[in-house]
Amino acid sequence: MSTATISPTALALSSTLKTSVGCFSRNLSFFTAYNSNHLTTTRIRTSLGVSAMSTTSVSDPVEVCVKASITYPDKLGDCPFTQRVLLTLEEKHLPYDMKLVDLAKKPEWFLEISPEGKVPVAKIHEKWIADSDIITKLLEEKYPDPSLEVPPEKVSVGSKIFSTFIGFLKSKDPSDGTEQTLLTELTMFNDYIKENGPFINGKEISAADLALAPKLYHMEIALSQHKNWSIPDSLSYLKSYLKEIFSRESFVKTQPLKEDVIAGWRSKVEG
Ligand SMILES: N[C@@H](CCC(=O)N[C@@H](CS)C(=O)NCC(=O)O)C(=O)O
């Protein structure tokens, strides 16, 4: 693995960097050139891991262990929990430093900081923290602005969609009701967004959207590929919601490759 970490020092430079730094390791030469020419105090570091992100903040990059792609090992892989953490960092304009982990061959250094062998793991307050629920909560506490906080009663909106999607994906019997169960959950979510949207917490994106959207991305790709299924047009509020979130800069920068998502779910379909 290789890493480049950018610690931007000037607010004025951040938006230029931000639009130019989405493609991870492919852009490493650009980072170096740009920074040596323009940022006197910017630190470039190459060691283990990949990627960088620019920011409007001056904080040190948050270190995050993420799943590596199985098709292109120098790219981000297909973990919705990892994407949730990266989305949180992006939406909070925080710099981060990704360390790609091959989950099929976990290195010793990774198992030392993540004894369960799971990603994401992020370093916060000098400690390695596992689990996207805990990581995003700590990020909210440490970096409250902009707020992604969501009222407790809205935290679980759409939370049954992922498990019902997996039930339908794994199902071998078309008449076992799993498709209908998923449709019921999606319809409830569609109606919720119609009443309360455009996002779960209303006008602004929140932690609830950042937790759900990566799962919905997996759902759309996996069901299209493995079941030839797509969201019915009648669920127009759900469709607009997905279009809006999937086209956000933060999402585009952190989304997994489609081929990884398809490959990742294959064993569930065939198993
Ligand atoms: N509850 C955890 C779930 C994390 C999780 O299951 N990560 C998967 C990848 S998406 C993992 O690391 N699995 C270990 C493995 O595949 O060996 C979270 O929210 O962070």
Q: Could you report the per-residue pLDDT of 114-146, keeping only the tens digit for each?
A: 999 999 999 999 999 999 999 999 999 999 999
| Confidence label for 44 from pLDDT (cuts 50, 70 and 90) | very low
Which of 6, 62, 79, 193 is flagged as catalytic?
79
Neighbours of 174 (CB within 10 A): 10
42 lines ligand 1 (CB under 6 A): no
Instruction: Quote the ligand 1 centre to 132 CA distance (angstroms).
Output: 9
pLDDT at 252 over 50: yes
117 lines ligand 1 (CB under 6 A): yes
Closest CA to 23 of 52, 56, 48: 52
118 lines ligand 1 (CB under 6 A): yes
pLDDT at 35 over 60: no
Report yes or no: 1 and 48 within 8 Å, Cβ to Cβ: yes
84 lines ligand 1 (CB under 6 A): no
Mean pLDDT to the nearest integer, 73-84: 97
Helices (H), 228-271: 236-246, 249-254, 258-270
Q: What rounded mean pLDDT belongs to the chain? A: 83
Mutate which of 119, 137, 162, 268 to test ligand 1's pocket (most atoms within 8 Å of Cβ)?
Answer: 119
* Closest approach atom of ligand 1 to CA 116: 14
Strand 62-67 and strand 96-101: the pairing is parallel
23 is an active site residue: no
Q: Write down the pLDDT at residue 267.
A: 84
Instruction: Quote the ligand 1 centre to 15 CA distance (angstroms).
Output: 32
Give percent above pLDDT 90 in the chain. 76
265 lines ligand 1 (CB under 6 A): no
pLDDT at 16 over 80: no
In the three-class reduction of DSSP (H, G, I as helix; E, B as strand; rest coil), residue 138 is classed as helix
Q: Write down the pLDDT at residue 269.
A: 87
238 lines ligand 1 (CB under 6 A): no
Pick the more confident residue, 23 or 72. 72
Report domain extents, the chain: 5-142, 152-270
Instruction: Quote the ligand 1 centre to 80 CA distance (angstroms).
Output: 9
Give percent above pLDDT 70 in the chain. 79
Mean pLDDT to the nearest integer, 34-41: 25
Shortest-distance Cα residue to atom 10 of ligand 1: 79
Instruction: Quote the ligand 1 centre to 120 CA distance (angstroms).
Output: 7
Q: Write down the pLDDT at residue 261.
A: 97
In this structure, which topology does domain 5-142 adopt according to CATH? Glutaredoxin (3.40.30)
Report yes or no: 157 and 192 within 8 Å, Cβ to Cβ: yes
Instruction: Quote the ligand 1 centre to 253 CA distance (angstroms).
Output: 20
* Closest approach atom of ligand 1 to CA 119: 12
Mean pLDDT to the nearest integer, 184-194: 98
Q: Write down the pLDDT at residue 58.
A: 57
Instruction: Quote the ligand 1 centre to 165 CA distance (angstroms).
Output: 18
> Which class is domain 152-270?
mainly alpha
Q: Write down the pLDDT at residue 50.
A: 45
Rg (alpha carbons) of the chain, rounded to whole number: 19
In the three-class reduction of DSSP (H, G, I as helix; E, B as strand; rest coil), residue 158 is classed as coil
| Confidence label for 71 from pLDDT (cuts 50, 70 and 90) | very high
Mutate which of 70, 83, 100, 118 to test ligand 1's pocket (most atoms within 8 Å of Cβ)?
Answer: 118
Closest CA to 51 of 100, 104, 124, 101: 100
What sign results for the dihedral spanned by CA atoms 216, 135, 67, 252?
positive
Q: Write down the pLDDT at residue 27.
A: 31
Mean pLDDT to the nearest integer, 88-109: 98
pLDDT digits (tens, 9 = 90+) for 203-227: 999 999 999 999 999 999 999 999 9
